[in-house]
Amino acid sequence: MGGRILLIEDEGNIREAIGFILSRAGWEVQGHGNGATAIEAVTRTKPDMVILDIMLPGLSGFEILRALRDGAETAQLPVLMLTAKGQARDQEAAFEMGADAYLTKPFSNADLLATVARLAQARATGDRA
Amino acid sequence: MLSFDGLVAVCVLYVLILFAVAFIAEKRAAEGKARWLNSPITYTLSLSIYTTAWTFYGAVGSAVRNGLEFLTIYLGPTLVFIGWFWLLRKMVRIGRAQRITSIADMISSRYGKSGGVAALVTLLSVIGATPYIALQLQSVTLSFSVFADGGALGAPDADQTAIWVAAGLALFTIVFGTRSLDVNERHPGLVSAIALEAIVKLAAILAVGVFVVWGVADGPADMLARIEVSPINNTAWNGARWLGLTVLAGAAILCLPRMFQVLVVENTDERHLATAGWAFPLYLLLISLFVVPIAVIGLEMFGSDANPDLFVLTVPLGLGQDGLALLVFLGGFSAATSMVIVAALALSTMLSNHIIVPFWLRLTRHDDPMSGDMRRVALTARRLSIAGVLFLGYGYYRLSGGADALADIGLIAFLGVAQILPALLGGILWRGATRVGAALGIGAGFLIWLWLLLIPNIAETGGMMPAILSDGPFGLTWLSPATPLGLQATDPLLTAMVLSLGVNTLLFILGSLMSFPSPLERLQGAQFVNVYDHSQPLYGWQGATGAADDLLVMAQRILGAGRAGRLFETAAEAQGRTGGVPEPTPDFLERLERELAGSVGAATAHAMVAQIVGGASVSVRDLLAVADETAQIMEYSIQLETKSEELAQAAARLQEANAKLTALSRQKDAFLSQISHELRTPMTSIRAFSELLMQDEGIDDAARARFSRIIHDETLRLTRLLDDLLDLSVLEHGRVTLHEGETALSDVLERAVRIAGAQDGEGRLKIIRDHDSEAVTLWTDADRLTQVFINLISNAQKYCDAAHPEMVVSVRQMPGRIQVDFADNGSGIPTRQQALIFEKFARADTARGAPGAGLGLAISREIMIRLGGGLSYVPSEQGTRFRVRLPLRVRRAA
C-alpha cells in the first residue's frame, strides 16, 4: 500500500481530516482547493489516485472527472468521488462518467480507508472496479 | 218520376263516381302520369265552381224577378278575365313565387306575414261563406223535395237530407283535401272531380236550354218572339245596380277564398291562365245562354206564383222529361257540392294555418312548425276545420229554416269578401301599402258590412227585427242599418257596398300613408309589386324531367352520394321506373324534404326543394326561416366555441399552475439539495475528526487540541447555518417583529466592525470610515441593521482578493433617505454572477472554503426591505460596492 493521492476538496477542514487519515495509512496526500486548476494539478502531480469533491468553486467535480476520462494519461486513473448531496441521481451520474468509487459525506474513516484500499488493490491488479 | 229512394241511390252512385275519379287522379298524379290533369281545360273547368247552385238555379229566378240583372254576376268575372287578365296573371305568379296557400295567406304575406291580418281575413271569409254554404245545402234539399213531392216545397226529410249532404261533403273534402300537407298545397283528385262536375253542370243547363228552345218553342225565332211578349221584358233597367253588381261579381272572383284556391293555389302552369282567359268567359256565356228562355217558358207554364228558382228543374219535370230533370238535378247537385267542397277546403286551410295552428303553437310553445308532429297537428286542424265549416253552414241553414231571404245571401257574401279587394289590389300594385292600412280598411269595411247587411239579414232570416236594428243603437237612427247616415236606403246592398268599400278604401289609403312599413313588409311589398323581376314562370312540375336530376345533385351534396342514391333508387323502383331517377311526385318530394331536413333543417330543405321543383323563388319568409335555422346553428357553434375556448383557457391555467408547482418543486429540491450540502460539509469534518479522536491512536496533544477546535468551529457553523435558515424563512414568509428605536448610524457601524473583527489592527481587512458623515440619527431596528453591516464586512473579509484589502464606508444623505456604500478594493464580482448574488446559497466562485452558507446577502436584502430601505450591488470599475439605502423616517435632533 502507498502512493500519492491528489485530494481535490474546497473545504480546508475536510482536506485536513482526509489528509491526516490517509497519511497515517501510508499515503502521500496532496490537497487542492480549486476546481478550476484541478486538472492542471492532476497532470502536473501525476497522482496514483484522485479523491474528488463534486461541489467545487470554478469547475464542478463532474466536469473534472469528464476531463480526466477524456485525457489519455488520466483515463485509467482511479477516482473516488465525494459528495455532500447524497442523492442517488448524483451517484449514478458519477458512475456513468467513469468514477471508480463514490462516498457520501459524512463518511466514516473506516469506509474511506477501505474504499481507497480497494481502489489501490484494483489498480495494482490492473482490474478496475 | 223517380222515387226519393231512387234519387238517393243516383246521388250516391254519382258521388261514388266522383270519389273514383278523384282517387284515380290522385294516384296518377302521384305517379306523375296525369297529363290530362295538367291541361288548361281542367283548370278552366275547375274555375266553374264560381257558378254555384245559387246561379245554377237562381239565375232563372233572378231573370224572372229582375230581368237581365243576373247577367251582372257573369259580366263581372268576364270583364276581370278579359280586361284584368294581367292582374290574374300577377296574382298567380305571386302565389307561386311566395307559395301562397290561401287568400288570407296572400294578404298576410304581403303585409309582413301579419298574423292579425290573416286571422281577420279568415274570420271575414268564414262569416261570409257560412250563409253561402247554407244556401247550397238549401238548394240541394229543395231539389230533393221537388222530386219527392212533385214540385211542392218543404220535403219531410229536408233537414235529414241537408245533414247527410253536409256529412258526405265533409268526408269527401277531408279524404281528398287533407291527404297530406303537399309541398304545393295542390289537390289533383279534388280538382278532377270538380272538373267533372263542371261538365255535368254545363251539360245539364245546355240540355234544358236546347230542350226548351227546340222542344218547347219552335226554335230560336219562336223563342225570341215568346221573350218579346214575356213579362220579363218589362222589368225596369237599374243602371246603378247593374254597375254595382258587376263590380261586386268582379271583386268576388278575385277575393272569394274558393276562387283563390282554384285560380291560384291549384294552378299548375301559368299558361293555363291564358286559356282560361277566354275559355272561362265562354263557359259563363254558355251557362247563361238559356237562362232567359227557361225563365220565359217557366213563367208560361207555371205563372208568377211558382218558385222561379226551380224552373230549371220543374220545367222538364212538368213536361215529363224525367231523365232530363235528373240530369238537371245532378247539375244542381254538382254546382252545390263543388262549391262547398272547395270552399270548405280553402276555409279549412285558412282556419288551420292562421288561427288554429298559431294558437296551438302559442299554447304548446312548439318551435319547429315543420316537424312531423306539427304536420299531424296541422292535418288534424284542417280536418276539424272542414267539418266545422260544414257544420256552421248546416247550422245556419237550420236557423234560417230555408227561408227565401237566403236568396239574397249570395250577393251579401260577395260584398263581405269584397272587403279584401282594396288590400289585395293595393298590395299587388302599390309598394306604399302597409299592414296598418290593410288592417284598418278590412276591419272597418268588415264591420260596416256586418252591421248594414249581414246582421239585418240574419235577423230577418230568423224572423225578428230588434229595435236596435230598426231604430239604431242608443236611438241613433243614423246608425240604423235601415237608414245609415240618415240615407233612406232604397237598395241596402248598394248603399252598404258604397259605404263599406268606400270607407275601406279610404282608411286603407290613409292608414298606409300615415304608417311606416316594417322591413319585412317593405321586402314583401317589393316582391309582390315587382314579382316578375324576381321569379320564373311555372310550367308545371310534371313536365320538368330535368328537376329530378337537379334534385339528385342537390341531395348528393347534402346526404352524401350513397344515401342519396339509395333514396332515389328506392323511390324510382316504387314508381316502377328504371334508371334510378324517380318522377318528382309530391310524395317523393315530401320524403326527400324530410330526409334533407334532418341535415339542413326543415325550412332550408323546403326552400331548396321548392327552388328546384316548384320554380318558385325563395320567399322572404323562407329566407327568414333559413336564417333562423342558420342563426340557431351558429349560436350553437358559438356556444361550442366558447365552451372549448373556456376549456382551453382552463387547460392553460392548469398547465400554468402545474408549471408553477413544478418550478416550486424544483426550487424546493434544489433548496433541499443545497441545505443537505451545507449541513453535510461541516458534519463531514466533525465526524472525521471525532472518529480520529475516539480511536485515539497516536495522536499527539497538539493535534488533539486542533481537532477539537475544528469540531467546535464546525458545530458553530452548523448552528449559524440553521439560525440563518430560520431567519430567512421568517423574513420571507413570517411576521417579523422589528425593534425600532432611535439610534446613531455611527454606533451601528462601530458595533458591526467590532463584531466582524475588523477593527484597526485586527484582521487583514482595513476599514476606512468618515466619522463626520456618520453623524446621522436613525429611527430603525439597530440589531438588524448591524446584522446587515456585519454581513457586508465579513463578505469583504472573505472575498476581497486585494493584496492589502481595504473597505471604504461612505455615507451620503439625500432628501428623506440616506445611503451607505461599502466598497472594497478587490477584483469585484464577475458580471455573470452579479444577478445571482442575492439568491439563496449563492456563493462567489472565489470563495475559498468560506464558512458562510450563501444566505448572508439574501437575508440582508430581506432585512433592508423590512426596514423600508434596500440593498443593491453597484457595478463599478473596481472592487465590490454594496449600497445600503435607508429611509429617514423620523428624524430627531441628537
Residues B225-234, mean pLDDT to the nearest whole number: 80
Whose CA is closest to B358, among B374, B372, B371, B376? B374
For residues B7 and B346, give the distance between their C-alpha atoms in angstroms, rounded to a whole number: 30
**DSSP string for B631-642:** HHHHHHHHHHHH
pLDDT at B603: 65
For residues B811 and B764, give the distance between their C-alpha atoms in angstroms, rounded to a whole number: 23
pLDDT band at residue B374 under the 50/70/90 scheme: low
Q: Is B285 left (phi over 0), alpha (psi -120 to 50) or beta?
A: alpha
Do residues B401 and B377 make contact, with C-beta atoms less than 8 angstroms apart? no
pLDDT at B322: 83
> Of B198-207, B270-279, B398-407, B850-859, where does mean pLDDT reach its minimum?
B398-407
Asked whether the predicted pLDDT for residue B688 surpasses 60, the reply is yes
Written as one letter, the residue type at B280 is: F
> What is the share, in percent, of chain B residues with pLDDT greater than 70?
84
**Strands B777-780 and B741-744, how do they pair?**
antiparallel
Buried b (16+ CB within 10 A) or exposed e, B325-334: bbbbbbbbbb
CA separation (Å) from B389 to B51, B414, B461? 20, 18, 20
pLDDT at B73: 87
Residue B766's DSSP bridge partners are B806
pLDDT band at residue B166 under the 50/70/90 scheme: confident
pLDDT at B686: 92
User: How far B778 CA sits from the closest chain A CA (Å)?
Assistant: 40
The residue among A7, A8, A14 with the most chain B CBs within 10 A of its CB, best to mutate, is A14
The residue among A7, A9, A11, A13 with the most chain B CBs within 10 A of its CB, best to mutate, is A13
Angle at B618 between CA B607 and CA B574, to 5 degrees: 35
> Of A112-121, B596-605, B665-674, where does mean pLDDT reach its minimum?
B596-605
- What domains appear along chain A, each with residue ranges and CATH number? 12-113 (3.40.50.2300)
pLDDT at B865: 87
The answer for residues whose C-beta is within 8 angstroms of residue B49's C-beta and 6 or more apart is B194, B198, B258, B259, B262, B338, B339, B342
For residues B868 and B404, give the distance between their C-alpha atoms in angstroms, rounded to a whole number: 113
For B844, which residue in chain A has the nearest alpha carbon?
Answer: A57
Whose CA is closest to B527, among B97, B187, B885, B131? B97
Partners of residue A85 in chain B, C-beta under 8 Å? 673, 676-677, 680
The residue among A105, A111, A113 with the most chain B CBs within 10 A of its CB, best to mutate, is A105
Q: Is B705 on the interface with A (CB under 8 A)?
A: no
For B697, which residue in chain A has the nearest alpha carbon?
Answer: A24
For residue B377, give the H/E element and its range.
Answer: helix B372-400
**Cell numbers placing B430:** 302599390
pLDDT at B507: 93
Cα dihedral value B296, B299, B302, B308, nearest 10? 100
Q: What is the pLDDT of residues A6-29, one digit of tens each?
A: 999 988 889 999 999 999 889 999
pLDDT band at residue B155 under the 50/70/90 scheme: very low
> What is the share, in percent, of chain B residues with pLDDT greater than 90?
12
Contacts 24+ apart (CB under 8 A), B82-91: B82/B277, B82/B278, B82/B281, B84/B250, B85/B273, B85/B277, B87/B254, B87/B425, B87/B428, B88/B254, B88/B263, B88/B273, B88/B277, B89/B270, B89/B273, B90/B428, B90/B531, B90/B532, B91/B254, B91/B263, B91/B264, B91/B428
**DSSP string for B592-639:** HHHHHHHHH-HHHHHHHHIIIII-PPPPHHHHHHHHHHHHHHHHHHHH
Q: Give the end-to-end CA distance of chain A in Å, rounded to a whole number.
A: 17
pLDDT at B279: 92
Do residues B789 and B752 make contact, with C-beta atoms less than 8 angstroms apart? yes
> Of A11-20, B199-208, B551-560, where does mean pLDDT reach its minimum?
B551-560
B235 vs B865 pLDDT, higher one: B865
> Which residues 88-107 in chain A show a CB within 8 A of chain B?
104-107
* Sign of the dihedral through C-alpha B664, B665, B668, B670: negative
Inter-chain residue contact B692 with A33, CB threshold 8 Å: no
Q: Which of A34, A85, A109 faces B677 most closely, judged by CB atoms?
A: A85
pLDDT at B662: 87
Inter-chain residue contact B692 with A108, CB threshold 8 Å: no
Q: Which ipTM did the prediction report?
A: 0.92
Inter-chain residue contact A109 with B843, CB threshold 8 Å: no
Partners of residue B681 in chain A, C-beta under 8 Å? 11, 14, 84, 105
Residues B597-610, mean pLDDT to the nearest whole number: 69
Inter-chain residue contact A106 with B680, CB threshold 8 Å: yes
pLDDT at B615: 52
The residue among B668, B672, B680, B832 with the most chain A CBs within 10 A of its CB, best to mutate, is B680
Asked whether the predicted pLDDT for residue B543 surpasses 50, the reply is no
> Of B182-186, B342-346, B586-590, B827-831, where does mean pLDDT reach its minimum?
B182-186
pLDDT at B894: 40
Residues B55-76, mean pLDDT to the nearest whole number: 86
For residues B468 and B660, give the distance between their C-alpha atoms in angstroms, rounded to a whole number: 91
For residues B346 and B360, give the distance between their C-alpha atoms in angstroms, rounded to a whole number: 20
Q: What is the pLDDT of residues B778-804, one digit of tens each?
A: 888 888 899 899 888 888 888 888 888
Asked whether the predicted pLDDT for residue B182 surpasses 60, the reply is no
B468 vs B876 pLDDT, higher one: B876
> Side-chain half-sphere of B167: how many Cα atoms within 13 Å?
7
pLDDT band at residue B540 under the 50/70/90 scheme: very low
pLDDT at B151: 40
Which one-letter DSSP state was computed for residue B261? I
CA separation (Å) from B403 to A121, B138, B164, B451? 141, 9, 20, 21
pLDDT band at residue B720 under the 50/70/90 scheme: confident
Chain mean position to CA B215 = 66
Buried b (16+ CB within 10 A) or exposed e, B396-434: bbeebebeebbbbbbbbbbbbbbbbbbbbbbbbebbebb
> Of A3-12, B33-42, B609-618, B625-634, where does mean pLDDT reach its minimum?
B609-618
Asked whether the predicted pLDDT for residue B582 surpasses 60, the reply is yes
Do residues B43 and B268 make contact, with C-beta atoms less than 8 angstroms apart? yes
pLDDT band at residue B627 under the 50/70/90 scheme: low
Chain mean position to CA A114 = 14
Partners of residue A10 in chain B, C-beta under 8 Å? 847-849
The answer for residues whose C-beta is within 8 angstroms of residue B668's C-beta and 6 or more apart is none
Asked whether the predicted pLDDT for residue B135 surpasses 90, the reply is no
Partners of residue A14 in chain B, C-beta under 8 Å? 681, 684-685, 688
pLDDT at A129: 42
Q: Output the average pLDDT for chain B.
A: 81
For residue B779, give the H/E element and its range.
Answer: strand B777-780
pLDDT at B617: 52
pLDDT band at residue B508 under the 50/70/90 scheme: very high
pLDDT band at residue B618 under the 50/70/90 scheme: low
Do residues B118 and B317 make contact, with C-beta atoms less than 8 angstroms apart? no
B677 vs B690 pLDDT, higher one: B690
pLDDT at B847: 45
> Of A49-58, B326-335, B452-461, B719-728, where does mean pLDDT reach its minimum?
B452-461
Inter-chain residue contact A84 with B676, CB threshold 8 Å: yes
> Of B209-213, B420-424, B825-829, where does mean pLDDT reach its minimum?
B825-829
Q: Is B668 on the interface with A (CB under 8 A)?
A: no
Asked whether the predicted pLDDT for residue B281 surpasses 90, the reply is yes
pTM: 0.56
Do residues B833 and B845 make contact, with C-beta atoms less than 8 angstroms apart? yes
pLDDT band at residue B317 under the 50/70/90 scheme: confident
CA separation (Å) from B771 to A40, B74, B783? 48, 131, 20
Angle at B28 between CA B25 and CA B29, to 5 degrees: 80
Asked whether the predicted pLDDT for residue B830 surpasses 60, the reply is yes
B866 vs B557 pLDDT, higher one: B866
Q: Is A18 on the interface with B (CB under 8 A)?
A: yes
Partners of residue A33 in chain B, C-beta under 8 Å? 848-849
Q: What share of chain B is helix, strand, coil (3-state, %, to 5)?
A: 70, 5, 25
For residues A70 and A100, give the distance between their C-alpha atoms in angstroms, rounded to a whole number: 15
Chain mean position to CA B26 = 33
CA separation (Å) from B404 to B142, B177, B309, B435, B469? 12, 32, 10, 39, 20
CB pairs under 8 A between A and B: 78
Question: Which residue has cell 480520529?
Answer: B692
For residues B432 and B512, give the distance between their C-alpha atoms in angstroms, rounded to a whole number: 6
User: How far A87 CA sits from the closest chain B CA (Å)?
Assistant: 8
For B845, which residue in chain A has the nearest alpha carbon?
Answer: A57
Buried b (16+ CB within 10 A) or exposed e, A1-38: eeeebbbbbbbebbbbbbbbbbeeeebebebbbbbeeb
Q: Which of A17, A57, A87 faces B847 most closely, judged by CB atoms?
A: A57
Inter-chain residue contact A86 with B689, CB threshold 8 Å: no
Inter-chain residue contact B688 with A55, CB threshold 8 Å: no
**Cell numbers placing B361:** 303553437
